[in-house]
Structure 1
Amino acid sequence: MYDGWLRERKKWAVLLLAIPLAACGGHTGAPSGSVPQGQSPVQTPENGISPGGETDEPTEAGTPTDEEAPKTDAETSDDTSSAPPAESEDVTANLTGETETIADRLDTPWAMQFDGSTIYMTLRGGSIVKVKDGEQIEQSITMNSSVLEEGESGLLGLALAPDFADSREAYVYHTYGQGDGMRNRVIRIKENSDGTLWSETALLLDDIPGARVHDGGRIAFGPDGMLYVTTGDAQQESSAQDTASPAGKILRMTPDGDVPEDNPIEGSYAYTYGHRNSQGIDWLEDGTMYASEHGPSGNPGGHDEMNEIEAGGNYGWPDVIGDETGEGLIAPLYHTGDEAIAPSGIAATPDGKLLVANLAGQSLMRFDPKTGEMTEVIAGLGRIRDVAVQGGQIYILTNNTDGRGMPSDGDDRLLRLK
């Protein structure tokens, strides 16, 4: 199935269809900054599956899962009077607890990207929503393999090309059906001239194991100009330790889908391995890379992580969790103990911290990688899938319509914190 995985040859695909779609630390040993066993910054029920690979999906409405359902929602404010802080300041310092709605009635949004004041968001069902000059425009995508939305799968990560202003190109990660199974792929797409439609122009990587849960899916350009991709173990735990499999990894590739010559494993896209389900990556201004990761479900559960990413690093899954260590394994900077927050998207701040969007935790948290301290920024908005810092201001994507939340009228929303 993965004969092409270790080859340094990119995979291209010519556009075949024109039918619009509706559409997982930075040191070895015990982590000094981790939360003691049994404690969590947000008290939530245990995750919903055992490490043996049962489904994360609830058996009935309201059943606790990896991405636990929220209990409350907060109303938003239309007041736009707050000013952004200076670049050297803590972007959370002057928050009032109020929010401004930028976009609403979004059907299971997953990722967001900014092109100046224009915002692009993926919807898990297979389309992109563009917000420009206050107008919401849903854009379809023509692609060679249709998006399969089932459980946690679908249209997930989005990264605008560094030259997007000129090329109008972006990269997405999505699930598709293959026979009676599921796979994920990374493709390049291009926005048409009138900004209403996207079309697939290249296939960068295919045949990434997929499942209803544990698909990873975050993609982002690093400061080195390379494209980084997180993949989940797709409920095949051993694959995370198999460097010949793309599952349970952080992958690194060129913008054209080639294996970079300086990757830690020659001829392989694998940049790090031993991940269960990483859904957030970002870099501080000094170039240090960090990732969030979902820990195991069931008993033991929790042990969600924040990791400092080192090229070629083995982060231990499924052999160790939490404070457990092993030769050659990198321990997390922080973990949640027996509780779960299900961290998803993360965003670096100018003062060297990381904002962490939490699904089960139903909150936005602020993580200090130097001290290992995790503190709450805002809660009461339900499940939060993604976070971004743009122009000194914080934006979040709620995720209450994903089948595990409790949506209120107008969900889901893109919010700016005030």
Structure 2
Amino acid sequence: MRRLGWMCLLLLAACQTNEDRSQPDEEGEVPNSNRGMIEVASELEAPWDIEEDDELIYISEREGTIARVSSDNQIQRQPVVTDKEISQIGEGGLLGLKLDPDFENNQLAYAYHTYEEAGEIKNRVVQLKYNGEEWHEELSLLDDIPGSNFHNGGRIEIGPDQYLYVTTGDAQDESLAQDEDSLAGKILRMDMEGKIPEDNPFENSYVYSYGHRNPQGMDWDQDENLYAAEHGPTNHDEINKIEAGHNYGWPEIVGDESRNGMETPFYQTGNSTWAPSGLVVTNEHIYAAALRGEGLMKLDLDGNNPEPVTEDFGRIRDVEVINEELYFITNNTDGRGNPGEEDDKLMRYKP
């Protein structure tokens, strides 16, 4: 019965036409149910992460480029040059991107990318330097993060403590998530040069939290509480409230199951599927970009009242708040979606 259900879902997705999605009017505004949604840029190529500085938006693309979107919505696609070649394998490639807090002056950024070495798929964290036209690796912060065709994690954020936080997937080896000595299935924490902070919960270890399956979103609330979103097995996707050194259960528990020494999610989707990726926390809501759920989802800060903001743009990979407005990117060209003629798109929405 489960296989038949998935076949039905796949047939429905395959039958979806481009006309099924709301199209912008002449001023770029999407009509009717999505009033207030403004198309900022189109024809992005498997975009992954949104960053902004001085009215310029930078979007990582999995093949190994960063799309720079100007204030007049023009795209300049710029190469990323790394010491170890970026490999777009399965769900891998150039994934997370984070601009340095002093980017305006030092032109530094941090990226997470997939690579191959000795026949193995791996991931790494690097510091990039921007010269206005290209991005070049300045420093390798951490190599040899286990990778696979799927479950690579990949989000990079800078916390209120000015440390880098990095999500990693279990690399399709569930046991690694519970292995405190492995970098897979974790949230990692390091300084801007890749060094281990002295107050990390495990001595001489990058590991900040563990027991994660495939976390792809992080953000902090106004009280500096860290939230992370991760994919569950088929359903039971999770948003967790992260505490240093805690175990979030995968693969021993899923959904609202509990076990001594393991954390039950702040919110979980039950039998519904979101496949959440990017995450942003505002003063009132948590917003999650949903891939398989094909929408921008929101819930209250107490974990209640989940509902879609929109479900009319297909797969959504990331969401950010810029100047009190929400920006999100679709991800219909990532090999799993049903791309429209101008996909993928960067959209803007004022709640």
Provide TM-score, normalisation by structure 2: 0.92
Q: 1:354 corresponds to which letter in structure 2?
A: I
1:122 corresponding residue in structure 2? 60
Contact persistence 2:187–2:208 (CA under 8 A):
yes
Q: Secondary structure, in 3 states, of the residue corresponding to 2:215?
A: coil
- Tell me whether 1:190 sits opposite 2:158 in the alignment: no
Q: 2:345 corresponds to which letter in structure 1?
A: R
Contact persistence 1:77–1:98 (CA under 8 A):
no
1:100-135 Cα deviation digits (max 9, x unpaired):
221110110000101031100000000101112322
> Among residues 258, 277, 284, which one is paired with 1:325 in the alignment?
258
2:81 corresponding residue in structure 1? 142
- Tell me whether 1:406 sits opposite 2:338 in the alignment: yes
2:99 corresponding residue in structure 1? 160
1:335-388 Cα deviation digits (max 9, x unpaired):
11123110110111133x211100011110112231433111111110000001
- Tell me whether 1:180 sits opposite 2:128 in the alignment: no
Q: 1:170 corresponds to which letter in structure 2?
A: A
1:60-106 Cα deviation digits (max 9, x unpaired):
x9589xxx889542213454799xxxxxxxxxxxx953422211101
Structure 1 CA distance, aligned partners of 2:219 and 2:25? 29
Q: Secondary structure, in 3 states, of the residue corresponding to 1:252?
A: strand
Structure 1 CA distance, aligned partners of 2:10 and 2:143? 34
Q: 2:111 corresponds to which letter in structure 1?
A: V
- Tell me whether 1:392 sits opposite 2:324 in the alignment: yes
Structure 1 CA distance, aligned partners of 2:65 and 2:194? 23
Contact persistence 2:239–2:265 (CA under 8 A):
yes
1:168-247 to 2 correspondence within 5 Å? Answer: 168-192=107-131, 195-247=132-184
Aligned residues: 339
**Structure with the bigger percentage of helix:** 2
Structure 1 CA distance, aligned partners of 2:295 and 2:40? 19
1:282 corresponding residue in structure 2? 219
2:187 corresponding residue in structure 1? 250
1:25-81 Cα deviation digits (max 9, x unpaired):
xxxxxxxxxxxxxxxxxxxx66x9xxxxxxxxxxxx9589xxx88954221345479
4+ aligned runs moved over 4 Å, structure 1: 61-64, 68-72
> Among residues 24, 31, 36, which one is paired with 1:76 in the alignment?
24
Q: 1:162 corresponds to which letter in structure 2?
A: P
1:142-170 Cα deviation digits (max 9, x unpaired):
11111110111110000000110100000
Moved more, 228-237 or 340-349: 340-349
Structure 2 CA distance, aligned partners of 1:260 and 1:70? 51
1:103 corresponding residue in structure 2? 41
**Structure with the bigger percentage of strand:** 2
Structure 2 CA distance, aligned partners of 1:155 and 1:371? 31
Q: 1:267 corresponds to which letter in structure 2?
A: N
Q: Secondary structure, in 3 states, of the residue corresponding to 1:373?
A: coil
Q: Secondary structure, in 3 states, of the residue corresponding to 2:96?
A: strand
1:32 corresponding residue in structure 2? none
Provide TM-score, normalisation by structure 1: 0.78
Contact persistence 1:356–1:366 (CA under 8 A):
yes
Long gaps (5+) in structure 1: 1-44, 49-60, 83-94
Structure 2 CA distance, aligned partners of 1:322 and 1:342? 13
* Aligned-residue CA RMSD (Å): 2.1
- Tell me whether 1:355 sits opposite 2:293 in the alignment: no
Contact persistence 1:69–1:383 (CA under 8 A):
no
Q: 1:414 corresponds to which letter in structure 2?
A: L
Q: 1:73 corresponds to which letter in structure 2?
A: R
- Tell me whether 1:273 sits opposite 2:214 in the alignment: no
Structure 2 CA distance, aligned partners of 1:178 and 1:73? 41
Structure 2 CA distance, aligned partners of 1:210 and 1:186? 13
- Tell me whether 1:313 sits opposite 2:246 in the alignment: yes
Long gaps (5+) in structure 2: none
By relative contact order (CA 8 Å, sep 6+), the higher-ranking structure is 1
Contact persistence 1:73–1:380 (CA under 8 A):
yes
Identity across matched positions, percent: 46
State the Cα distance separating 1:216 from its structure 2 match: 0.2
Q: 1:197 corresponds to which letter in structure 2?
A: E
Q: Secondary structure, in 3 states, of the residue corresponding to 1:165?
A: helix
Contact persistence 2:115–2:122 (CA under 8 A):
yes
